[in-house]
Structure 1
Amino acid sequence: MARIADEVFYVMFLNRRALANLNEFLARYAGEVSRDNFDTDEASLADLFARDGELKRVRPPMWARRAVFYRDRGRCTACGADLSGLIDTLSVGNYDHMMPLARGGLNDVTNLQLLCENCNSKKSDRVVAPSNRYRRWY
């Protein structure tokens, strides 16, 4: 079962559109969470929320940033700008929540995509369908 779960995650992680749809579905539930509904023994869960229905912003751990960077091939998923630092050393990559935290999005590797500064500032906290641009392997 663990191997099947790993394989499914691997296949799903490559598909940003499917991940965005999954996170939109999960955001409906997270958006309805009230911090007051947690019991005293669940206080640590309440601390994860900035306010009702919105998780606190947390910097993605290094393993998640690497996974997203390699999945997105070091390019902005919106405009395709190189963010690897090999071609343009001034380009800065941003790890964007496909489903914004302000709209119930999760702090999870499945909700991240790589955007350049310009595309990230244009997107802000709006929900924008992620690019379906993928590397062909054949």
Structure 2
Amino acid sequence: MAYSPPHSAEALNSADAIRHRILGTFEERYGHDLLSFEDALAIDEDFFRIAFKPYKWTLLHRFAQNCLWEEWNYLRRKADEEFVLESSRLLQHFKIPFSDEEYSDISKQKDYLFELLQEPLKRITHEVFCILFNDKKLMRCFGERISDAIADINPSQYPLYVHAQGRLKRSSSWPAWLRDALFYRENGRCAECSNSLTGVFDTSLKPQIDHIVPISKGGTTDPTNLQTLCESCNKKKGNSSSQVGGFIYIPWECELY
């Protein structure tokens, strides 16, 4: 399992904004948003390709990257000196080489810097994912809003991925990296009952991957909509619930004064 370095201030600030976008509280905190939730998802063939089968570049990556791109593009269109200064600062922070030559045409300079920003924006996007992926209540909200966003999609529009209105086809492809990531996030335990799934204490308990928002309710097979349960909890949950396990591993208890 790879460990990420300390998150940048840019990623922490962006993660807070993305969290509020998912919760639907962005405008209360930040004011007018440039993109609607659906526009940030960009529902097209590529969206359904990601939603149908687990990829490391998840729907949350896609959502966050589109939001970041639009914010920086808006700054590029509306500001000259501020955009040049802020984009130069970000490129320096991520050690992206660039020319600080002043252009006679400021629009060309902004276009040049904006093109270079695509790499650091991808890095920030992945940091945002790493911050938010551990919040399963937020991931449930994300999954439920995705379900609402695709509710009117018909199989004729995306026949490779959609089998009924608002319902994706089922994929049971669980790559090793996905199993490892979910197992690590749940600390080797069932997300619902907290029983160990390591096999050390009970070899009969086997980890099973569960859709937080069921496929039957418009859920996806994106990693953001998955959790690890034991067989018993998985059977109890069934296909009618979007319940998310709330177990959080804390290595010791403290008396608080």
1:74 aligns with: 188
2:243 aligned with 1:129, yes or no?
yes
Q: What SS class does the counterpart of residue 227 from structure 2 fall into?
A: strand
2:138 aligns with: 18
Q: Which amino acid aligns with 2:165?
A: D
TM-score normalized with structure 1 length: 0.86
Q: Which amino acid aligns with 1:15?
A: D
Q: Kindly indicate whether structure 1 or structure 2 has the higher relative contact order, using CA contacts under 8 Å at least 6 residues apart.
A: 1
CA distance in 2, matches of 1:82, 1:135: 11
2:122 aligned with 1:2, yes or no?
yes
Larger Rg: 2
The share of aligned pairs that are identical, in percent, is 33
1:54 aligns with: 167
Q: Which amino acid aligns with 2:177?
A: W
1:88 aligns with: 202
- The offset of 1:137, in angstroms, is 7.7
| Aligned-pair Cα RMSD in Å | 1.7
User: Does structure 2 retain, via aligned residues, the 8 Å contact 1:17–1:129?
Assistant: no
CA distance in 2, matches of 1:136, 1:80: 12
Tell me which of 103, 109, 114 is aligned to 2:217: 103
* Residue-by-residue CA offset, 1:77-130 (whole Å, 9 max, x unaligned): 110111111221111111000000000001100000011111111110122431
Which protein has the bigger strand share? 1
Q: Pick closer, same or farther for the CA change 1:84–1:50 going to 2, 3 Å.
A: farther
Tell me which of 128, 131, 151 is aligned to 1:31: 151
CA distance in 1, matches of 2:231, 2:198: 13
How many pairs were matched up? 131
Q: What SS class does the counterpart of residue 35 from structure 1 fall into?
A: coil
Gaps of at least 5 residues in structure 1 are 39-44
- The offset of 1:52, in angstroms, is 2.4
CA distance in 2, matches of 1:81, 1:50: 35
- The offset of 1:136, in angstroms, is 3.9
Q: What SS class does the counterpart of residue 50 from structure 1 fall into?
A: strand
CA distance in 2, matches of 1:137, 1:87: 18
User: Does structure 2 retain, via aligned residues, the 8 Å contact 1:93–1:114?
Assistant: yes
- The offset of 1:51, in angstroms, is 2.3
TM-score normalized with structure 2 length: 0.48
Query: Higher mean Cα deviation, 45-54 or 20-29?
Result: 45-54
User: Does structure 1 retain, via aligned residues, the 8 Å contact 2:219–2:225?
Assistant: yes
Q: Which amino acid aligns with 2:189?
A: R
CA distance in 1, matches of 2:191, 2:143: 17
Which protein has the bigger helix share? 2
CA distance in 1, matches of 2:235, 2:164: 23
